[in-house]
Amino acid sequence: MAASALTPHGTAFPEEGRCGYFVEKKKRFCRMVVAAGKRFCGEHAGASEEENARKRILCPLDPKHTVYEDQLAKHLKKCNSREKPKPDFFIQDINAGLKDETEIPDQLVPISSLSEEQLENLIKKLRKASEGLNCTLKDQIMSHPALHDALNDPKNGDSAAKHLKQQASILGNIENLKLLGPRRCFVEFGAGKGKLSHWVDIALKDAEKVHFILVEKVTTRFKVDGKHRKKNSVFERLQIDIQHLCLNKIPLLSKEKLPVVGIGKHLCGVATDLALRCLVETYAASCEERNEEPLAKRIKNDKTEKEINTLAKEGNEKNIPEKWTPVAGIVIALCCHHRCDWRHYVGKEYFRALGLGAVDFHYFQRMSSWATCGMRKTTLEASNISTKRRDEQIDGSEEHDDGGYRITDDSAESLPGFLTVEEKKKIGHLCKLLIDQGRIKYLQQKGFSPALQYYIEPLVSLENVLLTALPNHSSPPETSA
């Protein structure tokens, strides 16, 4: 055998009982176990003429692997890519929005193909719709003692430090909203490895009856769920798209009836809208319908609420009885507005009230990327472009956990030349703000007090806006949209 076929250990032969096919790309033999009397594994059986009598075909469920044609029926019953039985909490498109409201034409030209006049009209519409909006959000950059040691660990690289700073600030904001306490269930949307829930659990120490539901639609490696073995906290991971998630059907929630706190770190575009609808429309609304009280009892509760408000005004917050609510609060770090979708967007009514429609929304959400990734190739940044791209990829590995979304859009070269870099950046931020304002209006209509704020410096993450919301009968957030 040629010298090039040597393994890293210097042997020219495969290990005993292993496949004899040399994988050129990996510079080693295949390590699959072979059947008795065979030289090659199933995948590489075609490499041997004597074993090539049986035909192998691509698996119809997953073309990344092959199967013997005469064993296809048997393989389909046990293939890992086969459709699994749906759990009770899976209800098709329950959080998706109405199908008949998909008003975007099948073919829409990219922004780079719009004429200068068409683009100018879009920008005029954007500026008119944004009149009166507060374009300067309040800084609410916080931290939490639970992450003190981790933040000061000298072994941290740039990426780890960035994520820890963001997690610390989100945790600080959760505590500031008085949501960090016992007897509640934290639902982390787009959980990825589960790091945010991990730090919430550490911050809560030995608080009783704390549950965590981690929602992630893709299989994730290096999860931290297994590190939690405390008696008072329970971790449950659901592999499901938020679009089909019905929280009412989760046994843990239906049994315990704990207030839910919805959290998320960099929940991409459409996933944010799906999560909001999942919490305040699908879950909270159904809980209220299920627990509808007789009129006399509701009147009594109204009186109790007036007494609570009076106590709050007098500063006797410690004496205020805790009122149960299905959704106690929402704290979500927003991300990737250019990945939003009109059908799923919760702020459609707001857009329509401004005289805007699906086509306008489509272009605004595409233009929103100018705020974060449309100006990467400026002259001043040219020397640092490889470092910047590496940082974006690192950020994306965890901040886009809800489905592996990437920050990709029209490149800087395809952007209209009559706008300066700074103008494009401002327009991008305005698009993001308008989309977020639709979410604010939606939450207000659903009985919440929402707010937008900067939770981290842009040098740490360009996606640095945090959406928070509390039910109206709770203490309002200290920041305003």
Identify the band that residue 65 occupies on the pLDDT scale cut at 50, 70 and 90.
confident
Q: Which of the residue ranges 109-118, 177-186, 319-328 would you say has the lowest mean pLDDT?
A: 319-328
Burial of 409 by CB count in 10 Å (0-12 exposed, 13-18 middle, 19+ buried)?
buried
* Residue 9: band (very low, low, confident or very high) from pLDDT cuts 50, 70, 90: very low
Nearest to 402 by CA among 102, 124, 189: 189
pLDDT digits (tens, 9 = 90+) for 254-291: 888 889 999 999 898 899 999 999 999 988 777 766 55
**Any residues with CB less than 8 A from the CB of 71 and at least 6 apart, and which?**
none
Predicted pLDDT of residue 316: 44
The highest-confidence range among 34-38, 292-296, 443-447, by mean pLDDT, is: 443-447
pLDDT at 402 (0 to 100): 35
What distance in Å separates the CA atoms of residue 54 and residue 69, rounded to the nearest whole number?
8
Q: Which domains does the chain have, with CATH numbers?
A: 22-77 (no CATH), 111-288+324-376+418-471 (3.40.50.150)
Q: What is the pLDDT of residue 102?
A: 56
Pairing of strands 138-139, 448-454: parallel
For CA atoms 474, 130, 268, 388, give the dihedral sign. negative
* Residue 413, pLDDT above cutoff 60: no
DSSP secondary structure code for residue 90 in this structure: B
How far apart (Å, rounded) are the C-alpha atoms in residues 23 and 47?
12
- In angstroms, the CA 323 to CA 91 distance is 30
Residue 406 Cα to chain centre, angstroms: 12
Residue 124: predicted pLDDT: 94
Asked if residue 305 has pLDDT above 50, the reply is: no
Query: Where residue 114 falls among pLDDT bands split at 50, 70, 90?
Result: confident
Highest mean pLDDT among 24-28, 248-252, 444-448: 444-448
Question: What does the mean pLDDT of the chain come to?
Answer: 79
Greater model confidence, 288 or 316? 288
| pLDDT (mean) for 414-433 | 83
Residue-level pLDDT at 368:
93
Whether 52 has a pLDDT exceeding 80, the answer reads: no
pTM above 0.85, yes or no: no
pLDDT digits (tens, 9 = 90+) for 126-182: 999 999 888 889 999 999 999 999 999 999 999 999 999 999 999 999 999 999 999
Question: What is the per-residue pLDDT for 319?
Answer: 39
Contact at 8 Å (CB) between 331 and 179?
A: yes
Q: Judge whether residue 411 has pLDDT over 80.
A: no
Please enumerate in sequence order all residues whose Cβ is within 8 A of that of 299, keeping only pairs 6 or more positions apart, or say none.
none
Distance separating alpha carbons of residues 41 and 25, to the nearest angstrom: 18
Angstrom distance (rounded) from CA 436 to CA 461? 18
Percent of the chain at pLDDT exceeding 90:
47
Indicate if the pLDDT at residue 123 is higher than 70: yes
User: Cα(287)–Cα(93) distance, rounded to whole angstroms?
Assistant: 19
Q: Which residues pair with 167 in a beta bridge?
A: none
* Residues 415, 115, 438, 253, CA torsion sign: negative
| DSSP state string for 5-28 | G--TTS-SSPPTTB---EETTTTE
pLDDT in tens, 335-385: 999 999 999 999 999 999 999 999 999 999 999 999 976 444 443 343 343
pLDDT at 480: 38
Q: How far is Cα 300 from Cα 472, in angstroms, rounded to an integer?
A: 18
Helix 269-277 and helix 421-445, axial crossing angle in degrees, nearest 10: 10
Convert 108-125 into a string of H (helix), E (strand) and C (coil).
Answer: CCCHHHCCHHHHHHHHHH
